[in-house]
Structure 1
């Protein structure tokens, strides 16, 4: 998963750079006062760049040819359902709020707040994991390789780089969303798109030159479904695909959403699967199965692939490019989700201290809270036996938070077909209510299975004591699940910012529709009158 680039261009003044800035500002796409029309191919590229990241390739290289099955399976049961459901919800409820509004329309603001909190925390928990990968990439910029490998696996080095880089990015984000978009789009191209293409090309050259293939080719394409522990890392593929709903808010800017959106998602899905599958195989052919390391094997693969054609030093340059890509990912994830949480907070769901903004409109208190959480998570690097195990556990908790949000979104989409049957849906999942049930249930069950697998210690890496590993996951997940409900229970009417532009829910403005079951007295004035 990558949010490193929400637009294909990084140069200010260009139309696509304006598009990227608009994306960062919540989808208000305008150019010279006129709405921007997004073509089918442009939308496909936007979704592709939002989802794709290279950091997870070594984890799936563990499976060899079986990884192809996992990538395709996760796309069918999770990526495509997520994209379709998000498109219908985003086009039907285009007002500000994203997943908070979608879930809130179905189940009220309590569940809407929980969903947006889980989404935000998923990104926050994801940050240390991706920074571990960035620290490894930075380590591989130097020489010799033995020094690089030792540095990349050093817990204290990883923790130091994580803290320095993340706090530096946090301070940079204070400059405003436009600066963040420029950095992230540049880093996305330099650190994800170009290195991904090079990795696949080098893998092909390596095989064509007759070099030894380290990946076993006699395993077949189907996994051993009875070995649950070996399937845990495969469940992480769902996390790689997370984020497809991000761009769904722009469905109404397409010429023909009913036709162009499904086609663009199909194109983006194929592009995503191709780069994941071929990139994973490229790592697998050059790194022996038993030597694969989640944090550093991609960098070793680059160096070995370039060494195969007599240019090992270029591998160090590739490591620097990958590190730049991580910087862009961290930057956009640091700024984007916090902005969405700020809008929800101003609607009356967060205390005033977390609603304050600087001259650039950035929520400094929320950004500092993020930084404090990430700093606290560094403790896992000292408690767990290795950098690799810390990398794994943070990724899994992030995965569980994403899955909780997605499962809630799938159920909300099904419910809204019945509570809002007559509302205009610019894009509607085909097949009537049956089509929605099919897509929603498949996506829900896919996320549920992935979540269940996440609690099993993976057999491929050393996580230390299994009880401690599982305890971290269980306690961390329960705490994260509970926090938004606790905050919501203690919210006050006075928390609502009088200048908030958050619009009421549909059920608050339509007398013909009752409030969702269990919906509390709304904070919004318009809703308070209806109550």
Structure 2
């Protein structure tokens, strides 16, 4: 690849991988306690993950391949690397219907139709378009993602800030009073809120796939991570608070809350005609994020296929350097899951279970990433984090934060999910164990073909 990715563009790609405005309603639901949980999420998850993944990416700059599979394979073992990329890839597949549901429901809201068949059809169409864009290579998909970041993340959040300013100037009542915001640690009893915050920060390590496209990768990637973290924290925190100020917590829809927020805001401004434009922006923001999420794990899974964990046909790339065979299989699974939307009565419950299960599986990958970083510290050069105390503190904080978040995932948020708590925990545990256990099939395949090569 040519060295043609700038600092600005890389920063934008990191932002679009993490900062999807579709997560704002999920955060806004916990309005008064959001600042407390947000600080915990930033300190015990976002900062450790961001800078440890940057350190690992910098250490593998001179290698032919980068990413979570390489980090965990080198730091722990090949099987650990396979489990890590399987956790990332499978959680990505679980997450996709939730993202597609957000985009589809937003489009349906614009045109005032929301039947399950229509929603499912749009979800399938959107994913096919994502696959088509990724088919033409990393550089091309990066350009599309960056444009989507500007139109679908920056502009919508700025419009939210304009709404809040208008509310304050006009003296309209706020649904969440500043005096209600609490840092009381008793709020930690609602530990499921931590899962929502963690969900908002997933994916910052995905952009390691762009490292080969950078000029002076160590310096550029470090600066991009730093700038992206600042932007993500400010935009996500202030954006979610703005929604909490404008919309009653009990009225916030997880998958369609942004559309309703903008509808209320533009109605007060007398600019309802602008709704189709902002809706297109919201879809573009989620679309750009989905492009990165579709491609990056597939690239790392292709690396695992080269080590024998998948059939050889999955270890090859097309003429544009993209693992198209993996993308095809990924597409079939995502489309199949998306079609189940026609059988779901409670959209909020469906949306929450998907994104929460995705998070639980994904967090197992982060545990391995931190363990790999700890082992590689003894043999690798110090590229970004030179201070030993800082490095080990980040790893320990990250592992602690992830373990707490994994426990929190089994706690049913009563204001979001309407199913029985025992049923929820049982389904959640079964889904998690099922996804993780499938990893053994890949180990069996590899061991079998190492013993009996074709």
* Residue pairs, 1:44-443, within 5 angstroms: 44-94=11-61, 95=63, 96-142=65-111, 147=112, 151=114, 154-222=115-183, 225=186, 228=189, 230-247=190-207, 250=211, 265-378=225-338, 381=341, 384-418=344-378, 420=379, 423-427=380-384, 429-432=385-388, 434-443=389-398
Cα distance 1:353–1:194, how it changes in 2: closer, same or farther (>3 A)?
same
Distance 1:401 1:140, change over 3 A: same
Deviations 1:179-207 (A, max 9, x none): 43333222222112211222222222222
Please state how far the C-alpha of 1:377 moved relative to its aligned partner.
2.2
Q: Relative to structure 1, is the Cα distance of residues 375 and 295 closer, same or farther in structure 2, using a 3 angstrom cutoff?
A: same
**The structure with more helix, counted as a fraction of residues:** 2
**What's the TM-score, normalizing by structure 2?**
0.89
Asked whether the 8 Å contact 1:47–1:265 carries over to 2, the reply is yes
1:472 aligns with 2:433: no
> Aligned pairs, how many?
449
Cα deviation code 1:269-292 (max 9, x no counterpart): 232121112111221222112111
Post-superposition offset of 1:226: 6.2
Of 203-212 and 159-168, deviating more is 159-168
Call closer, same or farther: CA 1:463–1:312 in 2, change over 3 Å. Answer: same
RMSD: 2.9
Matched residue SS, 1:348: coil
Q: Are residues 224 and 76 of structure 1, via their aligned partners in 2, closer, same or farther at CA, if it must alter by over 3 Å?
A: closer
**Aligned ranges for residues 448-459 of structure 1 at < 5 Å?**
448-459=403-414
Deviation of the 1:112 alpha carbon: 0.7
- Residue in 2 aligned with 1:30? 3
Which blocks of at least 5 consecutive residues in structure 1 are unaligned? 1-27, 496-520, 524-531
Q: Which has the higher contact order (CA 8 A, sep 6+)?
A: 2
Once the two structures are superposed, residues 456-480 of structure 1 have per-residue CA deviations (whole angstroms, 9 ceiling, x without a partner) of 1111123323343323321221122
Instruction: State how far apart, in whole Å, the 1-side matches of 2:203 and 2:107 are.
Output: 26
In 2: Cα distance, 1:275 partner to 1:346 partner: 39
Cα 1:268–1:220, aligned 2, differ >3 Å: closer, same or farther? same
Check conservation: 1:384, 1:463, Cα contact below 8 A: no
**Bigger CA drift: 86-95 or 164-173?**
164-173
Evaluate the alpha carbon distance shift between residue 255 and residue 377 of structure 1 in structure 2; reply closer, same or farther with a 3 A threshold. closer
Kindly tell me: are residues 83 and 179 of structure 1, through their superposed partners in 2, closer, same or farther at Cα, counting changes over 3 Å?
closer
Contact 1:190 1:325 in 2 (8 A): yes
Deviation at 1:333, TM superposition (A): 2.2
Q: Which SS does the other structure have where 1:141 is aligned?
A: helix
Mapped to 1, the partners of 2:227 and 2:146 lie a distance apart of: 21
Which residue among 434, 445, 449 is the counterpart of 2:400? 445
Matched-pair contact (CA < 8 Å) for 2:344–2:350 = yes
- Conserved? CA contact 1:410–1:443, under 8 Å: yes
SS in 1 for 2:272: coil
Structure 2 residue runs without a partner (length 5+): none
Q: Secondary structure at the match of 2:31?
A: coil
Choose 1 or 2 for highest CA Rg.
1
Asked if 1 retains the 8 angstrom alpha-carbon contact of 2:160 and 2:242, the reply is: yes
Distance 1:331 1:43, change over 3 A: closer
